[in-house]
Amino acid sequence: MKTSKPVAVRPATAKEQHYVDRAAYYVGRAMLCYQAELWPEAATNFGSALESLLRVRFGAGGTLANLVDKFDRDSYFNGILVHDGASKNCATCMADEIRRLRNAVHPDCWKEAAKKEVDRAGMLVLMLYHVLVTCDQSKVGIFQASPDVILRNMEAAGISFESTEQAVPVPR
């Protein structure tokens, strides 16, 4: 029986590390807003975390809309399925929803975000973090521990946002 050799994972670049650190910062801000039930602000911060994580994969160029388009076309992310209750959700549609919420902070186009939208944004951000940073099968590099441990701790604990009053760990 043939076994494949484990693929060596390279160290993350300084830019990739910067984007992961920024994502952790934005998730920390999102969780402060989440606890205070400031849904639009939490959605905005999760949107910024999403952008930072997509930049780990796609680099510095372009807008969040461009990054969501690249995310949609990238087979690297084909395994992401989001279950929201009994239904499955398209990860790209969720990313685009988060993008629209994040971009709705201008006073002339403010959109109120509901808790459910924030929960979905948090789920997608955690899934991207897992795929890009922590999963031994898919991570893009070996990252240094972030000075802001909220995102890392949430991922390690299996935090779920769906149908909870506050984010709680999911039993594994």
Sequence ranges of the domains in the chain: 14-169
- Residue range 53-65, pLDDT digits in tens: 999 999 998 999 9
Q: In 59-136, which residue ranges form alpha helices assigned H by DSSP? A: 64-73, 91-102, 115-129
What is the reported pLDDT for 18? Answer: 94
Q: What is the mean pLDDT of the chain?
A: 79
Average pLDDT of the residues in 123-151:
84
Say what the pTM is: 0.78
Per the CB < 8 A criterion, the answer to whether 47 and 103 are in contact is yes
Q: For 48, how many CA atoms within 13 A lie in the half-sphere containing its CB? A: 18
Residue with more model confidence, 107 or 51: 51
- Residue range 78-125, pLDDT digits in tens: 767 665 665 566 777 778 788 877 776 555 555 678 898 899 889 889
Q: What is the CA radius of gyration of the chain?
A: 16
